[in-house]
Structure 1
Amino acid sequence: MLLANQVTNAQFFTHDVGFHAGTATIQTDYGVRNNYLSSYGNSAVSLSFTHTLHFFNKDPRWNADHKIWSYLALRSELNIITNANFQHHGRFVNENTDLGRQLKAMTGIANITNVGFQLEYYMRCLKDFIYPWSDIRWNPYVLAGLQYTMFSNSLNSTLGDWEQDITVLPNKWRTPGALDVGKGTTFAATFGAGIRYKFNPKIDFNLQFNWQFFFSDAVDGLQANVIENKNNEWLLNLQFGVIYHLNFDRPLSIFNR
């Protein structure tokens, strides 16, 4: 009966929680489309609170260690990207023309909140990595996920109030529908990779890099119907995090009796 209870306990999923911080660089309609270097100034602070569910003790048998679920984790995440500052870069901004002055005077700000999930596939068995008897310290992974995005944006010009005088903006943003300034929602897909380092039996350090593609062109507030501004926004997110294991020690009892 005691052994049966231990086997039952071993089938509990294990969990961990984490906090991540880093920077996000956003490709928008500010700058030059398809020239990522022109968006180097469009960066923001990125903070994430995470919960991860592991499946490696779904089956307590030793021969289950190399099943697919022993390499998978499902992470839920609240990600906040705060005060993303947008401004135009590139050769058109530096020209001594009306367009150059209008572009140089034009700035924007966006705040983005993402809520979603990502599925992680690890290169090393998670049971061997997380449980304290293992000497494995590093475990890289790849990820894919889906997020629900809430955003708010603003637009300003040092030439004047664009809501009172739209001519302070370049021509392509003066037409109806070319601006979508305010609040909105969309979905986003994420793809990336990361690596975890086992600092001690309860704490991991995590470095993660991902690409996030928004299913909207309105995140920055600009959506002029011109070829250079018709692509959706996307970003690159680099974060460092600390992960704390909540309950891996409970299923461990089956192996210590």
Structure 2
Amino acid sequence: MKTLNKLVFILPMIFVFESQAQFYEHEFSANLGFYQLRSDYGISDDSETNFGNQGLALSLSYYYNPAFRNRKSYFQDHFKYRFNLQFSSTDLEHYIPESDDPRLASMTGSYTNFGINNGLEYYPLKIKTIKSYRNKSFLYDISPYVGVGLGVNFVKPDAESSLSGGLSNIDNILLTFISNEPDNGINLDSDTVLSFNFRAGLRYKLDIQSEIVLESSWMFFDSDFVDGLSPVGPQNKNKDWSWGINIGYSYLLF
């Protein structure tokens, strides 16, 4: 029921878009890039932590382009619908000074996520359609954009310790990760969490039907257990989130 309730937020958008698909331009893209999980591993806003806890993300997207046939409004000229599937995986480690607690230095983890999201993309310089392609200049064929969306994410965290007894031995766990409350501590169960997604990017039109896409994306989860950890105390100010940058290829079918 928990998963079903969260899917209710996003699936109606999919069905609405599908019912109108015959009026739209159909476009697909595949993107591959780097992905950083900003979580309770390591030190917040530390470059070694951020670049150390980095993995890969693969995404596949399907677009509806309302500017294809009937360009009658500002919305049709500047907005695209986007349905996106993403898989990401990251190894996690506490990057800390050597003098810090060895229980942190000995703890490692991992995170995988399969996400589904819907949203809108806004193109301030208008959408470059088949009809608008002219190959006039490099700048003419560039399309910047920003986008927002809601996502459902199926996440699986994992963690272990290289100390004798692993995480089964409570002496190997830092006190900040020990709690009798369900909202804090260590929880390595798979979960389904919602996210708010924001992206910004550039498209460059190669020809009438294909484009190169460079995109930066942010994902803000509604859970602090995406990485399996939720520290006890005032230092736990934010829920988990992620940032990534990727490059891809987009192709217009019809």
State if a TM-score over 0.5 links the two structures: yes
Counterpart residue number, 2:179? 175
What is the RMSD computed on CA atoms of the aligned residues? 1.9
Q: What CA distance in whole angstroms lies between the structure 2 residues aligned with 1:37 and 1:227? A: 23
Counterpart residue number, 1:195? 202
Q: Is the 8 A contact 2:119 2:150 kept in 1?
A: yes
**CA distance change for structure 1 residues 49 and 161 in 2, over 3 Å: closer, same or farther?**
farther
Gapped runs of 5+ residues in structure 1? Answer: 1-10, 248-257
Residues 1:232 and 2:239 are matched in the alignment: yes
Structure number with bigger Rg = 1
Residues 1:29 and 2:29 are matched in the alignment: no
Q: Is the 8 A contact 2:133 2:207 kept in 1?
A: no
Q: What CA distance in whole angstroms lies between the structure 2 residues aligned with 1:77 and 1:160? A: 43
Counterpart residue number, 1:161? 165
Q: Is the 8 A contact 1:223 1:230 kept in 2?
A: no
Q: Is the 8 A contact 1:112 1:149 kept in 2?
A: yes
Q: What CA distance in whole angstroms lies between the structure 1 residues aligned with 2:123 and 2:233? A: 42
Q: TM-score, normalised by structure 1?
A: 0.82
What percentage of aligned pairs have identical amino acids? 24
Counterpart residue number, 1:251? none
Instruction: Report matched runs for 1:57-136 at 5 Å.
Output: 57=68, 59=70, 64=72, 67-82=74-89, 84-91=90-97, 94-95=98-99, 99=101, 101-126=102-127, 128-131=128-131, 133-135=133-135, 136=140
Q: What CA distance in whole angstroms lies between the structure 1 residues aligned with 2:171 and 2:64? A: 53
Q: CA deviation at 1:34?
A: 4.5
Q: CA deviation at 1:133?
A: 4.4
Q: What CA distance in whole angstroms lies between the structure 1 residues aligned with 2:82 and 2:237? A: 32
Q: CA deviation at 1:163?
A: 4.4
- Consecutive aligned runs of 4 or more in structure 1 exceeding 6 Å deviation: none
Q: Secondary structure at the match of 1:57?
A: coil
Q: Secondary structure at the match of 2:87?
A: strand
Gapped runs of 5+ residues in structure 2? Answer: 1-21
Question: How many residues matched?
Answer: 226
Cα-to-partner distance string for 1:113-136 (whole Å, 9 max, x where unaligned): 11011210012222x444364233
